[in-house]
Amino acid sequence: MRNHYEASRMGMHDVPPAGRALVVAVVAWSLAWKGASLWRAARNGSKPWFVTLLLTNTLGVLDAVYLFGVARRHSREELDELAILEVTGEPEQEGHPQET
């Protein structure tokens, strides 16, 4: 007869195949969202979002909010700025050259 400690320990080999497939699917889903959101946050230079997304695990919910809400707004603002620069014919402002 098993003692209480042995009965409460459940390894992955004790999980039915359908349960294992579900675990693998959830991990793959989370990693896909996490990778996409971290990549976008790094490209946008958003350190607070990058750290938040890196440290939280919400099964892709917060990652999707960032990708479809925050990051799109950031991209739209950049596109608006580029369109204004194109219409006005002004060159992009990259700072002042060094005077020597």
Q: Tens of pLDDT along 26-44?
A: 999 999 999 999 999 998 8
**Residue 18, C-beta contacts closer than 8 angstroms, at least 6 positions apart:** none
DSSP category for residue 12: G
Chain-centroid distance of CA 37 in Å reads 2
Greater model confidence, 73 or 25: 25
How far apart CA 53 and CA 4 sit, in angstroms, is 38
Distance CA 9, CA 17 (A): 18
Q: Three-state DSSP class for 91? A: coil
Mean pLDDT of the chain: 79
| pLDDT per residue as tens digits for the range 63-85 | 888 888 887 777 666 666 766 66
